[in-house]
Structure 1
Amino acid sequence: MWHYNGTADSIPYPIPGLAADILHMRVKGGSKIRSLLQFAAARMQGEVRNPNGMSLRQVVFTGSGRGVTKTITCVEILKRKVEGLHQVSKLYYNTVKEVWKSPQPGAPGITMERRVPAICIYLSKDPLDPQEPGYQPPQIISVPTEEAERHRGLQRKDTRKKSKE
């Protein structure tokens, strides 16, 4: 039986100028979204403070391969929990080295390198450069008013089938 050991090369963030002590949420295919969000939201909302007594103002989420969709999901949910977040997203490729060890003692193993898609999403409470490729301004979350809901209800078409009489 061959034994697999996969490792991803660590590359610097594709977003220039990030602080060395920024909160980095590394999302993997098996990561639990709820756990990631509880950790990041508590720090961004000020429930958990850093050693200086301040809440975090920035976080970066990264994920590759099967973790890309979970990374995006985490970011979208966090943006709804913490309002006013500026965002910069970058897509890139990560090199993953796969090492397969032979079941026979002394026999050489197989080493392969694959390039897998990856994403890096930087969220900040502070304004970011809107000219930076991948920039998204904060979302404006509006609560529908009773009047707007009533107006929308009047515009709905009746989709029920009409019976022939």
Structure 2
Amino acid sequence: MEQPSSSATEIVETVEICAAPFPQQFTQGTKTVLVKKHSKFEKLNGFAVGEMKKDATRKIIFRGYGEACEKCVSCVEVFKRKYLLGKLHQWTEIAFSRSTVVHPPEVEGGASTAIEKTLPTIFILLSKDPFPDALQTDSMQTSDDVDVSLFDKVVKSEKKRQFDQTRSFKRKTENVNKWRRQMKDSKKSYAEKKGKSEAPVAKKQEAS
């Protein structure tokens, strides 16, 4: 579970990461490279290459969730180009983690609002050894393959769903009329000046 530190007046997001959707024989004792939105390829791939150079290391897992899914795929592609010690066998799976976003109360003494959502989470297992024939799936490939765009639609669809969720929450909490056009600053300034200029006229008429 990942939870950033935050004060009571800030929005807090807690992410409960799902388990890697691979058989235990591939996950037990296997190092995982955690790819985040702002991670640097050089640092992650430096660690991964160092691990995979060891004779005792037969496999490694790359993982990214939410907006980091696409970056995770790119990171693996960069790693495969840099790894020159032999062919790698790849197994890619998509799962979903759970995120809870807590918004602070809008008024003092009010209740906080919690919103739960799912986050697409991509797991990419790279192995020096071929996977058993009994486990073969369409989501497996080798390091010679370059087409890893099968999951772009999943990521984009989830981003749109999250955007719609956030927009719906803002409308409920802020009572925003989506059909009402916002007044431009120039019009606001003109309306304020007009109101001030009409005020003395109204007072003069009352006096007469």
RMSD between superposed Cα atoms in Å? 2.3
- Structure 2 letter corresponding to 1:6: E
Question: What letter is aligned with 1:115?
Answer: T
Match of 1:98 among 97, 101, 112: 101
Higher share in strand = 1
SS in 1 for 2:33: strand
User: What count of residue pairs does the alignment treat as equivalent?
Assistant: 134
Alignment of 1:14-25 (within 5 A): 14-17=21-24, 18-25=26-33
Aligned-partner Cα distance in 2 for 1:75–1:111: 34
Residue of structure 1 aligned with 2:119, choices 116, 119, 131: 116
- Written as runs of structure 1 = structure 2, the 5 A alignment for 1:11-160 is 11-17=18-24, 18-46=26-54, 54-82=55-83, 83-102=86-105, 104-129=107-132, 131-139=136-144
TM-score normalised by length of structure 2:
0.58
| Partner SS, residue 81 of structure 2 | helix
Q: Which runs of 5+ in 2 are unaligned?
A: 1-7, 146-208
Q: Which has the higher contact order (CA 8 A, sep 6+)?
A: 1
Greater fraction helix: 2
Partner of 1:144: none
d(CA) in 1 for partners of 2:119, 2:77: 22
Secondary structure at the residue paired with 1:3? coil
Larger radius of gyration: 2
Query: In structure 2, how many angstroms separate the alpha carbons of the residues matched to 1:78 and 1:43?
Result: 12
Deviations 1:64-111 (Å, cap 9, x if unpaired)? Answer: 111111100111111122231100001122221111122655421111
Alignment match, 1:3? 10
Percent of matched pairs sharing the same residue = 29
Q: TM-score, normalised by structure 1?
A: 0.72
